[in-house]
A and B are shown apart, each in its own frame.
Chain A
Amino acid sequence: MMSSRWTPFLFLAPALAGLLIFRLVPIGVAVGGSLTGVSLMGDLRFVGAENFEYLLTDPQFWSSLKITLFFNVIINPLQLAVAFALAMLVFRPLPGLWLYRTLLVLPMAVSTGISAVLFGLFLDGNLGPLNGFLEWIGVGAQPFHRGQDQALYTLIGIATWKGAGYWMLFLLAGLYSIPSTVYEAATIDGASAWQRFRYVTLPLMRKPMAFVLVADTAINFLFFAPVYILTSGGPGGATSLLMFEAYRSAFTFSDIGRSLAISTILLGIILVIVVLEFRLLRSPEERA
Chain B
Amino acid sequence: MEAQFKNPHALMLRYGLLSILAFIVVCPLAWLALASLRPQSEIFQPVSEFGWSTFFPSRLTFDNYRALWASDFPLAVKNSTFVAVTTVIFGIVVNALAGFAFAAFDFRGKNLLFLLVIASFMMPFEAIVLPLYVMIRAFGWANSYQALIVPEIANGMVIFLFRQFFASIPRDFYEAARVDGASWLYIFTRIAMPLSWPTIATSGLMLFLSQWDSFFWPVVAASNPDYAVVQVAIARNINFEQSDWGGLFASTNLAILLGTIPFLLVQRFYVRTLISGGIK
Q: Which A positions have Cβ atoms within 8 angstroms of B?
A: 1-3, 5, 7-9, 11-12, 14-19, 21-27, 29-30, 86, 89-90, 92, 94, 98, 100-114, 117-119, 121-122, 125-129, 131-133, 135-136, 141, 161, 164-166, 169-170, 172-174, 176-184, 187, 193, 207-208, 210-211, 214-215, 218, 221-222, 224, 243, 246-247, 250-251, 256, 259-260, 263, 266-267, 270-271, 274
Return B220 CB to nearest CB of chain A, in Å: 12
9 more contacts with CB within 8 A, not counting A15-B154, A108-B209, are: A1-B186, A9-B107, A11-B188, A98-B267, A109-B209, A114-B252, A173-B270, A181-B280, A259-B126
Q: Which 6 A-B pairs have the closest CB atoms?
A: A18-B154, A109-B259, A132-B50, A173-B198, A15-B98, A26-B128
Which B55-108 residues have a C-beta within 8 angstroms of A?
A: 55, 94-95, 97-98, 100-102, 104-105, 107
In the complex the two chains form, is B5's CB within 8 Å of A176's CB? no
Number of A-B contacts (CB under 8 A): 310
Q: Which B positions have Cβ atoms within 8 angstroms of A?
A: 1-2, 4-5, 11, 14-15, 17-19, 21-22, 24-26, 28-29, 31-32, 44-51, 54-55, 94-95, 97-98, 100-102, 104-105, 107, 110, 113, 115-128, 130-132, 135, 150-154, 156-157, 159-161, 164-165, 167-168, 178, 183-186, 188, 198-199, 201-202, 205, 209, 212-215, 231, 234-235, 238, 245, 248, 252, 255-260, 263-264, 267, 270-273, 275-280
In the complex the two chains form, is A129's CB within 8 Å of B45's CB? yes
Given contacts A15-B159, A109-B260, A117-B238, A207 and B127 within 8 Å (CB-CB): no
- State A11–B94 Cα separation when bound (angstroms): 8
Given contacts A106-B29, A207-B164, A177 and B154 within 8 Å (CB-CB): no
In the complex the two chains form, is B25's CB within 8 Å of A27's CB? no
Question: Whose C-beta in chain A lies nearest to the C-beta of B271?
Answer: A176
A247 cross-chain contacts in B, Cβ below 8 A: 124, 126
- A110 in complex: contacting residue of B156, B165, B255, CB < 8 Å: B255
In the complex the two chains form, is B127's CB within 8 Å of A263's CB? yes
- State A127–B168 Cα separation when bound (angstroms): 50
- State A266–B125 Cα separation when bound (angstroms): 12
B116 cross-chain contacts in A, Cβ below 8 A: 19, 24
A165 cross-chain contacts in B, Cβ below 8 A: 25
Return B176 CB to nearest CB of chain A, in Å: 15
Q: Name B's interface SS.
A: helix
- State A122–B35 Cα separation when bound (angstroms): 11
Given contacts A102-B263, A109-B256, A176-B273, A271 and B119 within 8 Å (CB-CB): yes
A211 cross-chain contacts in B, Cβ below 8 A: 160-161, 164
Q: Name A's interface SS.
A: helix
B54 cross-chain contacts in A, Cβ below 8 A: 129, 132-133
Of A2, A8, A169, A181, chain B has the most CB atoms within 10 Å of the CB of A8
In the complex the two chains form, is B127's CB within 8 Å of A246's CB? yes
A92 cross-chain contacts in B, Cβ below 8 A: 2, 5
